[in-house]
Structure 1
């Protein structure tokens, strides 16, 4: 399974590398550099059939409502089920596209069909089935807050595209029909933890989107786009163990997709109508864009203190070794004045590890430490910077920048086992039961310094160090077996986070680079709190999240490429 994920996610990046190879590409650092791609003088012609690959990240939601049958069973006097409920649904994806362009002057009409595959999933707090029975003394007690799970294994669309060709760039919008293959389940820890209610559906809807496609030379082009899929609301029937009859929910589904990839056009690049000329200022801009596939590890810790004594540690949650596979797109544009803009966005499918939930005396006596397995976690991140290269030479540059970073992470803990002292009470959660969920949202200001230097005429080293002077934090804890804190929200802020990145890249041709890199992130919110339903005032908290890893990348240089300087070879 691990190898299958790696090969599926690496395909778009490998395709980009192969696209840049040409018969003139040098095999050693001292061979001549291949000439840049040759385009039609007046612009680019987009006519013809094309096919390609893409990868990306999806973020969506499932909204559950209107239960029937067993799902609508009463849990106490006049107490309805805890629906409607909404849950996030996200994950990495990769796939194929096939289309046809017809160009009329600078305008391009097209039809495109694509298919994407991945494992997009998430949970909603439905409380939709009969949980623990309501005691006679408290007939208004709600049920268990059960997890309703939605997953999507495939998405597809058939859409028309309308574009305007400007220089080497095709700007387009699209719209058409959408398809999704969904599976649903509802788990009741009390009644049928080992045998959840199951349902599935082929969902049909509509999609709209927009994006950019850039001619790389010859018949190759690279694209990036955003698509929105809306599948509307549909009745989903479930097979509930031991409860025959009609048991259903209304489930609304939608999905946001960010995709980047490569296309190959099966036609002569010349002849016919061509793009409109690009604006003059484009001649003053150079840069690069590309994709990355990576492997990383992360750790999250949450410290909870007593509301009456901020120095007394009550509980600590630790999510160590949250390894994952990432897929990312990045870009940088440099103006001749030295001003530059850069950014990246990506996602991580977490492979799973474990979680420790510790409770400390005197609040819990004796000390308790339970361990749970983790699975199906997801990360999403994005960064944008604006800066100025204040020191520049023929083979190096250094610049400063200001920017913004967003990072979210969702993790799930399943089952639990007590590993504390022998006197500690055991944990009775079955090993296949969703026990605890943690979702963290970080936003940070970035102040950074970075640069790059040519080590040889083909080998370049880039690095940057970033200070995060202010960080905001929002957390959501889902205690799935405790309906009164499902979810429980945490708020906080912090200072002095840190990010660092280093990349070593090699020029395969004058336009195409490949490279390897590493990065490290530290987020911390030293000042946080939460309010429990039992009262007693706000409980102080602190939070720390780290992620570090390595990646491989492929990139394309755009704009006028200067002749490489003569530099020392080591």
Structure 2
């Protein structure tokens, strides 16, 4: 009896091994886990808004040959703001690590860069004022070249800018009288001689504008605060001018006028998923 009981475990082990041999073989493959999410990158179209202020700059003018050279500059100040559209392409990872971003951007809106001066003599009733300004559009078309470190993009930019400058002014001259000396007049003179010459005074104002264009360069930082939203801080320098000719009778006068401005700007962009 004891011998039979000792044989039972061996029989059970044999049956178990035989049944296991008849089962299909399953291979377990270990797969690397994928990251939960991949970065969205910088490729795609976007729209945005921006606003900025003039940190420095000046209006300028210069006469050209055949006139003698006369030039002048006057400091400007003001602000600009408007909308932005653009498109970025982020290069694949095998090119410089995938951080290079190429893009094109256009922006436009309203600019008010101004320089004004005035003179007044209240006791005499005389006043005069004049100004230069860009109370009109300011637009740029630029390329962008940058490098991205995840959500942060540093870039340089440059291209073409266009705007308009206007000249305005006015003057008020009071009326006055100049007495005429009357002495030693012959008696019985048939013509009456007035005792003074009078001037009634006048007031006038006017203005004129002209388009200007030129180059613009700058640099900036842009940061993705959300997958489709970024904020940016940007510096732009623009130099715009125009050469005009004025004909007076047989003579033609030529002069160059324009302005340069350093702008500091901030903006918000929204990436469009469908482009």
Question: What TM-score do the two structures reach when normalised by structure 1?
Answer: 0.31
**Residue 3 of structure 2: aligned partner:** none
Q: Secondary structure at the match of 1:62?
A: strand
**Residue 61 of structure 1: aligned partner:** 58
Contact kept, 8 Å, 1:52 with 1:263, in 2: the verdict is yes
Contact kept, 8 Å, 2:211 with 2:242, in 1: the verdict is no
Alignment partner of 1:230 is 2:239: yes
1:47 to 33, 43, 47: 43
Relative CO higher for 1 or 2, CA cutoff 8 Å, sep ≥ 6?
2
**Residue 141 of structure 1: aligned partner:** none
**Residue 151 of structure 1: aligned partner:** 133
**Residue 78 of structure 2: aligned partner:** 91
For 1:193 and 1:162, the matched residues in 2 are separated by 57
1:261 to 259, 267, 273: 267
Contact kept, 8 Å, 2:212 with 2:242, in 1: the verdict is no
Runs of 4+ in 1 over 4 A off after TM superposition: 39-44, 186-193, 245-249
**Residue 119 of structure 1: aligned partner:** 112
Alignment partner of 1:173 is 2:128: no
For 1:101 and 1:173, the matched residues in 2 are separated by 13
Contact kept, 8 Å, 1:53 with 1:96, in 2: the verdict is yes
Change (3 A) 1:212 1:44: farther
Contact kept, 8 Å, 1:87 with 1:124, in 2: the verdict is no
For residues 160-190 of structure 1, the C-alpha deviation after alignment (integer angstroms, 9 at most, x for no partner) is 0001001211000011111012211244555
Contact kept, 8 Å, 2:164 with 2:210, in 1: the verdict is yes
Question: What TM-score do the two structures reach when normalised by structure 2?
Answer: 0.61
Shift of 1:265: 0.4
For 1:92 and 1:113, the matched residues in 2 are separated by 18
For residues 116-165 of structure 1, the C-alpha deviation after alignment (integer angstroms, 9 at most, x for no partner) is 3132211379x9xxxxxxxxxxxxxxxx9x75521112210011000100
Change (3 A) 1:230 1:52: same
Structure 1 residues 46-445: aligned runs within 5 Å: 46-58=42-54, 59-66=56-63, 84-104=71-91, 105-123=98-116, 148-152=130-134, 153-188=136-171, 190=173, 194-235=203-244, 249-267=255-273
Q: Secondary structure at the match of 1:46?
A: coil
For residues 521-559 of structure 1, the C-alpha deviation after alignment (integer angstroms, 9 at most, x for no partner) is xxxxxxxxxxxxxxxxxxxxxxxxxxxxxxxxxxxxxxx
For 1:237 and 1:213, the matched residues in 2 are separated by 46
Q: Secondary structure at the match of 2:273?
A: coil
Structure 1 residues 533-548: aligned runs within 5 Å: none
Shift of 1:42: 6.0
For 1:100 and 1:47, the matched residues in 2 are separated by 7
Q: For structure 2, which runs of at least 5 residues remain unmatched after alignment?
A: 1-34, 92-97, 120-125, 175-200
For residues 352-372 of structure 1, the C-alpha deviation after alignment (integer angstroms, 9 at most, x for no partner) is xxxxxxxxxxxxxxxxxxxxx
- Bigger radius of gyration: 2
Change (3 A) 1:151 1:250: same
Change (3 A) 1:85 1:247: same
For residues 12-40 of structure 1, the C-alpha deviation after alignment (integer angstroms, 9 at most, x for no partner) is xxxxxxxxxxxxxxxxxxxxxxxxxxx98
Aligned-residue CA RMSD (Å): 3.8
